[in-house]
Chain A
Amino acid sequence: MTTASIKETTNIGVSKPRVDVREKVTGAAIFTDDIQFGAGLLYARVKRSPYPHAIIKRIDTSKAKALPGVKVVVTGEDFPHRTGLYLKDRYIFARDRVRFVGEPVAGVAAISEEIAQKATDLIEVEYEVLPGVHDPVYGASPEAPLLHPDLGNYEVPNFIFPVPNTNISNHFKVRKGDVDAAWSQCAAIVEHTFRVPHVQHVPIEPHVAIAQVDGEGNITLWASSQSPFAQRNLIAKSLNMPESKIRVIAPLIGGGFGSKAGITMEAIPVAIAMKAKGHPVKFRLTREEEFFTNFVRQGLVAKIKVGCDKDGRLLAIQNEMYWDGGGYTDYGVNITRAGGYSGSGPFDCPNVKVDSMCVYTNHPVGGAYRGFGMSEVHTGIVQAMHMLSEKIGMDFAEFLKLNVVQEGDKILTGMTMHKTGIKECIDKVTQAVNWGIKEPPSAPNKRRGKGLAVMWKAPAMPPNAGSSALVKLNEDASVTVLIGGQEIGQGSFTAMAQIAAESLGVPFESVKVKGPIDTQYSPYEWQTVASRLTWSMGNAVRNAALDARKKIIDMVAEAWGEKPEDLDIKDGYVISYKTEESISLKDIVVYGIPKPDYSGWVGGPIVGSGNFMPTYVTGLDKETGQGERAVVHYTTGAQAVDLEVDLDTGQITILKAASAFDVGKAINPDLVKSQIEGGFVQGMSSAIFEEMKLVNGVMQNPSFVDYRIATTADIPKVIEAYIVEAPQDDGPWGARGVGEHPMVPTIACLANAIYDATGVRVSNPPLSAEKIYLALLDAGVVK
């Protein structure tokens, strides 16, 4: 980083207004379903498997094809190539077998959605139903039927470890120290099995995509997408075509939370459009389909054992995780990996053993969800730590401060921990809830308690996930920033405008960052996931802006006969510290500057380019999970709540929630706080209300009627967000990401608080009123 980054800033650490907001409040903002395609538009619907596991014996599409208005009918026969983000284990339409309820079996395009729907009803599919796997622990056992007999032959990157002839599609191991030898030295040991159910992302905008194929076979896809480039790549792979023939356009997206990363339903309109002779084909999921046919957050069974010495110092952590991956685990395998290399939680411990197994089941397909496995992992490990602190007789905050990971610690994978503000986070949130002081409940039939949890999370991605950016100057001295990362509500366009403005030396208001992201024109970005944009894309934008800056300064230096070192750009003017001359960027950034007496010109239209890719992440040993640097960095944080439990109903009321995260540097503090608040509520919602109720693979509650999420009436009375800044060495101004982290500790935090209030531990979410009440009843706390 050049010295330019150290000088005083007017755009960094400042809560600039969002750049995308006016269009969003006036209804002018264009989301994918809002794009108009005219009369030629066809609508797709999908025939889905009603069985969790079955052989497809016969498909008869003749009646559907004969229905007036139907233009295309396709089945798995038409698309023989496998696809998948990490593990290539799935087809666009099932070919020989179906492995989850809702799996696409055939697709239809017709002149209306209604006709397409009717046509799917006319498709006849004959199945031979097979026994299913509905529990990951059973699935991992030798007794379970094999769901992917070909697992050993699937294409997979070298950091995923499938176990052929089992249902385990990735087995990630950590072996640090000697756990088995450590138990005998422990003064206290806790062993507990935790279960986390499947949940859904529930973006308010359901998935939608439109595809069109021109006469030369070029494909255009408009999609509500967090990862247009990854989608281009995956579609190319599954159709066996070069990336250059595919263009993905991603307008604003109405919430993603990971569900719109990788590829799921987007492949369907593409496949159908290939047979639709130039017609655009639109496919949108109904809210009900949104719940169970697309990526879900995997369920987890975690068998945890932890022990400490008499002073409360951790001696051993063992975490055996069975991830309920679903019928396909193309993305799930990497969640398992992330769960594995962070499987100790943010604790310093000499002996760690982690087994993180991704297990095929006949459940909906797991994918990325805000936190990428970390909410599930922390639900168990942080509760186990709470139990252990109680057993050894230590205040939980003290226990945490004694054991949390610190700069210089060798973490479970052998990586050396960087600077982190986790202790400061603990201090902030414990102060916020008056930790340690027992306060009275508001009524005799209520119990009051406080809960605390800590977390860490690293961006989970391939070691070489890259970003790039272009910074383009316009005649009026305004700046256009071109990026491939998406605005999904987190405010990335605004943060990028701040970074560009600051790096270039122009007013924030003169910088434009706008969608749609278009793989044909936007520079490459791996995916908008993993809380990596501010850090990774931020670096790319900064580099691009610095490149443009250099070009401008060189031009002016040449025109003025000065040294570049004596020049600077401020507020849209190039100034000379030496001569005190200045010149507006207007016009010169496009037309250049005439030499004296018009003896010629210098310069030309200014475009800066920049990229960023971490180059230092190393592989990890297959048997021990050890390696020099498992990940780029960890963002850490803490959360605390003060709540009441109603003894008559089991309902909880959160009086106050406080969260603190170490973001390295908050480029835009208000946006960071917004992420923290919104993330807390999403975490709280998943903790209290959410569960995909699966019975023999069939979701019983696939609608808002019975899959409840938090509303305005359910949020805490007070939600506080604190920012801690221990800078990241390779982040722009020290920044690292925080998009996912706020919901990671919440389940454990609430479970700990409920325990504090009632003395009864309800360890498995959802921590519903019913579950709490019945637990109180069984424990004799209520009668």
Chain B
Amino acid sequence: MSFHRIILTVNGSTEQVDVPGNMTLLQMLREKLALTGTKNGCAAGECGACTVLMNGEPVNSCMVLAAECDGAEIVTVEGLAQDGQLDIVQQTIIDEGGVQCGFCTPGMLISARALLNRNPSPTEAEIREALVGNLCRCTGYARIISAVKAAAEATQ
């Protein structure tokens, strides 16, 4: 098995990593870069716990090969807060009570941030649609949806 040397930026810092062909972006983040905020809930593209931004768009990092990420720009949950200042959706999900066990939260926040980036004032239906790939078993979602609404309102 051969390794591929890739250079990419993760949360703004440049990384050089040697990865085997079957390694996913998720595995690389967690195992090679010790960025364990991004979670593995299924390894099959279904749960969204592994969602990260790749070149500005959310992807299931378990459904991307690390080798494909040469030159890519990745943002994980660890990269959302800037200089200790929480991203607005991080703040509103706290305020609305949208976190329980917290395992879905990193992926949920990334999907929410991506939604607000492309659509700063989404309707409730648009929020639901944008988060449909992020499973949460604890909260029942309503407070997460309110958190995204609140974040949108706060940035108007």
Contacts and interface: CB of A to CB of B under 8 A. Distances in A.
Direct contact of A and B (CB under 8 A): yes
Interface of A: 17-18, 20-31, 33-34, 36, 114, 201-206, 252-257, 286-287, 488-491, 670-671, 674, 677-682, 703-705, 709-713, 715, 719
Contacts of A205: 39, 41, 101, 103
Nearest to A742: B140
A712 B135 CA distance: 8
Contact of B47 (A24, A204, A671, A710): A204
Given A26-B86, A713-B132, A33 B101 contact: no
A26 B78 contact: yes
B41 A287 contact: yes
20 contacts: A20-B102, A21-B94, A27-B38, A27-B80, A29-B102, A33-B30, A202-B137, A204-B41, A205-B41, A206-B40, A254-B41, A256-B101, A490-B100, A671-B97, A681-B140, A681-B141, A709-B135, A709-B137, A711-B132, A719-B140
A709 B106 CA distance: 19
A419 B82 CA distance: 52
B42 A704 contact: yes
A677 B142 contact: yes
B127 interface: yes
A25 B37 CA distance: 9
Interface of B: 22, 30, 34-44, 46-47, 49, 76-78, 80-81, 86, 90, 93-94, 97, 99-106, 109, 127-129, 131-145
B101 A488 contact: yes
Contacts of B109: 25
Contacts of B38: 27
Given A31-B39, A712-B127, A26 B81 contact: yes
Count chain B CB atoms within 10 A of each CB in A23, A24, A31, A713 and give the residue with the most. Answer: A24
Contacts of A36: 34
Given A203-B137, A677-B139, A704-B135, A27 B41 contact: no
A204 B36 contact: no
A206 B40 CA distance: 8
A711 B138 contact: no
A22 B94 contact: yes
B11 to A, nearest CB: 10
A489 B140 CA distance: 12
Given A203-B137, A703-B42, A712-B128, A674 B37 contact: no
B102 to A, nearest CB: 3
B46 A254 contact: no
Contact of B99 (A25, A677, A682, A719): A25
A254 B39 contact: yes
Nearest to A31: B103
A766 B116 CA distance: 35
Given A202-B137, A206-B41, A709-B137, A24 B99 contact: yes
Nearest to B46: A704
Contacts of A703: 42, 44, 46
A553 B143 CA distance: 43
The 5 A-B pairs at the shortest CB distance, nearest first, are namely: A27-B37, A254-B103, A489-B101, A24-B102, A681-B140
A705 B46 contact: yes
B78 A27 contact: yes
A27 B36 contact: yes
A205 B101 CA distance: 9
B44 A715 contact: no
B49 A204 contact: yes
Contact of A204 (B34, B137, B141): B137
A515 B17 CA distance: 33
A719 B97 CA distance: 15
Contacts of A18: 94, 97, 99
A670 B132 contact: no
B103 A204 contact: yes
Contacts of B138: 255, 489, 678
Contacts of B86: 22, 25-26
Nearest to A202: B137
B122 to A, nearest CB: 12
Given A27-B78, A677-B139, 11 more contacts: A18-B94, A25-B77, A27-B76, A206-B42, A489-B138, A490-B100, A678-B138, A703-B42, A711-B132, A712-B128, A712-B144
A677 B46 contact: no
Nearest to A685: B137
Contact of B103 (A203, A681, A715): A203
B100 A674 contact: yes
A488 B99 CA distance: 11
B143 to A, nearest CB: 7
Contacts of B49: 204
A491 B94 CA distance: 13
A208 to B, nearest CB: 9
Contact of B36 (A17, A34, A670, A711): A34
Count chain B CB atoms within 10 A of each CB in A36, A704, A715 and give the residue with the most. Answer: A704
Contact of A713 (B93, B97, B129): B129
A704 B97 contact: no
Contacts of A23: 102
A496 to B, nearest CB: 16
B79 to A, nearest CB: 9
Nearest to B105: A24
A31 to B, nearest CB: 7
Contact of A253 (B36, B93, B101): B101
Nearest to B37: A27
A69 B97 CA distance: 46
A73 B20 CA distance: 26
B102 A287 contact: no
Contacts of A20: 102
A716 to B, nearest CB: 8
Contacts of A710: 141
A25 B47 CA distance: 18
A410 B94 CA distance: 45
B80 A674 contact: no
Nearest to A703: B44
Contacts of B39: 31, 204-205, 254
B97 A674 contact: yes
Nearest to B124: A717
Contacts of B129: 712-713
A17 B94 contact: yes
A206 B42 CA distance: 8
Given A27-B77, A33-B40, A712 B141 contact: yes
A713 to B, nearest CB: 5
A712 B132 contact: yes
A2 B141 CA distance: 41
A166 to B, nearest CB: 36
Contact of A704 (B35, B44, B105, B136): B44
B45 to A, nearest CB: 9
Contacts of B81: 26
A199 to B, nearest CB: 12
A710 B93 CA distance: 20
B10 to A, nearest CB: 12
A21 B99 contact: yes
Contacts of B135: 204, 704, 709, 711
Contacts of B102: 20-21, 23-25, 29, 252, 254, 489
A711 B104 CA distance: 12
